[in-house]
A and B are shown apart, each in its own frame.
Chain A
Amino acid sequence: MVNPGINRGKVAIVGAAESDLGEVTPGLTPMDLMAQASLRALDDAGISVREVDGIFASGVQTRMAGVHLAEYLKISPRYHNGSFSGGSVFETMVGDAVAAIQAGLCSVALIAYGSTQRSASMAGSGPARLIGIRTYDPLITPFGPRMPMSSYAMAASRHMYEFGTTREQLAEVAVSARKWALKNPVAWEKEPLSVDEVLGARIISSPFTKFDCCLVTDGGGAVVLVSAERAASLRRKPVYVLGVGDGVTHYEIHSMDDLTRTATIQSSTNAFAMAGITASDVDVVELYDAFTINTILFLEDMGFCAKGEGGAFVSEGRIAPGGTLPVNTNGGGLSYGHPGMYGLQLLVEAVRQVRGECGERQVADVNIAVAHGNGGTLSSQSTVVLGGADTL
């Protein structure tokens, strides 16, 4: 039995919100945005901030994020978790929050994130330009990769070598994300993008041009979780946590055994097993597209297509609006925004799709949504399966 201590459908996300996005008002701090998103998510849920007794927060700019958020909002949590595992940490924290609520460690769990990565890198020079800057590593630095881009680029190169994945197929991922973004009023990118524009752009780290790489924006988000019992009396349609799963294969890319197979295989296998679903049951996928290869790798590893067939799968508009599998309906890290870590935004969009409140980009009849987070350099992976009342 997968995840025997927690149960499918016993905890629900009842509030979800973004902070200000894109390029926020100068001087705002990551904690300002984290608090804004938190209060918006609590308002969405109809729960007072005074009821929060579980805090889960993380960030690149915010050390001790959970403790800091407790101070900022004068919350005295019974349970708090400020761990860091890269952008997937917020999907991991959904599992942690489910466990904490089911174990009675807290009853109202707030998961929150905030970042001013764009503003900070525009304002500063030197180290301030690169948030989360890497220190000298004799196993990496002397060889001149641009991190993290070069790590993902090496995965893409290997995928192309082994499976014949093409440069055009990678571009299809960026083009599909852009088509979704044009339907999302809060997405950063506002202009159409073509395969030719992707291919013709400046090479960042081959095979990637700048359009294969995620944006650098400000932003944040928050979600609120309570027991299914409590959720039934709240004002929003509960979005139930059906399954969670995690996996780690390495920290740095030099220690990843197979650059074409990620820990998503493990995380999604466990999350889908707990949820009692297969890939074919999923109506919409929100996955961490820090780079175009991510979408191909994660769709393969989650079982939406066979290993090596991801390039063909994402082509011909199959993951774009009107395609057979809607992927990254908010525009993704590639075109909606990528505030340092993107994992929380995946949850917000997945919740909204299940609730059916996405307007022009709403996918019809969403019962099951997957939010899949990635952290580090394909290092940590976390899959969350969410569903509406019909899935219980």
Chain B
Amino acid sequence: MGLDDRIAEAPMAHYQKRLEAGELAYQFSPKAGRAIFYPRIACPYTGSTNLEWRKSSGRGTIYTLTKLFPSNARSYAVALVDMLEGFRLMTRIVDATAEDVEIGARVALAIRPGENGDACPFFVLEGK
């Protein structure tokens, strides 16, 4: 897609459509030679609008986290995960209490509906 072309599909709409289909999609910028996240209309490193959609392996490592302890629900960890493909995203580690989750842990994608029903990229501890 060129810069002068009308944008035919919203990047975040495409991302959400792929999540609903069970895939975590991200963009790759051939010009920058690296992954882009969050989805956007151009590569932030080069300004190029030539971006490829790719499917993530769904595997990554916890870069950092914070643990929350709601009084009326199970504790949970919110994390920033560095994906194998070289991009980072925010997520919540599910099927685990906060105490089980640490920085450096390997995690795997678990797409599930969020509170509003939209498919969201949650993660589980790998091998658990």
Contacts and interface: CB of A to CB of B under 8 A. Distances in A.
A and B form one complex: yes
A265 interface: no
B92 A143 contact: yes
A347 to B, nearest CB: 31
Contact of A158 (B16, B64, B88, B122): B64
A139 B116 contact: no
B90 A203 contact: no
Interface string A229-265: 0000000000000000000000001110001000000
A161 B118 CA distance: 33
Nearest to B68: A205
B64 A161 contact: yes
Nearest to A141: B114
A144 B92 contact: yes
A157 B66 contact: yes
Nearest to A159: B64
B103 interface: yes
A255 to B, nearest CB: 8
Contacts of B90: 139-140, 143, 145, 253-254
Contacts of A208: 66
Interface string B73-99: 000101110000000111110000010
23 contacts: A138-B120, A139-B38, A139-B89, A142-B116, A142-B118, A143-B78, A143-B90, A143-B120, A144-B68, A144-B78, A144-B92, A145-B66, A145-B78, A146-B68, A154-B80, A155-B64, A157-B103, A158-B63, A203-B67, A206-B67, A206-B69, A253-B80, A259-B80
A184 B128 CA distance: 53
Contacts of A161: 64, 103-104
B39 to A, nearest CB: 9
B116 A136 contact: yes
Contacts of A138: 12, 16, 118, 120
Contacts of B88: 254-255
Contacts of A254: 38, 80, 88-90
A150 B66 contact: yes
The 3 closest A-B pairs by CB, nearest first: A142-B114, A153-B66, A206-B67
Contact of A144 (B65, B76, B116): B76
A154 B89 contact: no
B115 interface: yes
A203 B76 CA distance: 13
B94 to A, nearest CB: 10
Nearest to A204: B68
A154 B65 contact: yes
| Interface bracket on A | 20 to 34
A134 to B, nearest CB: 13
Contacts of A203: 67-69
A140 B121 CA distance: 11
Nearest to B12: A138
Nearest to B66: A153
A153 B68 CA distance: 10
Contacts of B104: 161
Contacts of B118: 138, 142
Contacts of B122: 142-143
Contacts of A157: 64-66, 103
A141 B91 CA distance: 9
A203 B69 CA distance: 7
Interface string B24-46: 00000000000000100000000
B56 to A, nearest CB: 15
A319 B56 CA distance: 46
A141 B104 CA distance: 23
Contacts of A142: 92, 114-116, 118, 120, 122
Interface in A144-198: 144-146, 150, 153-155, 157-158, 161
Contacts of B16: 138
Nearest to A157: B64
B68 A154 contact: no
Nearest to B120: A142
A157 to B, nearest CB: 5
Given A143-B91, A144-B92, A150-B78, A205 B67 contact: yes
B13 to A, nearest CB: 10
Contacts of A153: 66
A154 B104 CA distance: 13
B64 to A, nearest CB: 4
Nearest to A207: B66
Contacts of A154: 64-66, 78-80
**Among the interface residues B69, B88, B90, B104, which one has the most CB atoms of the partner chain A within 10 A?**
B90
B68 A206 contact: yes
**Among the interface residues A141, A150, A254, which one has the most CB atoms of the partner chain B within 10 A?**
A254
B109 to A, nearest CB: 13
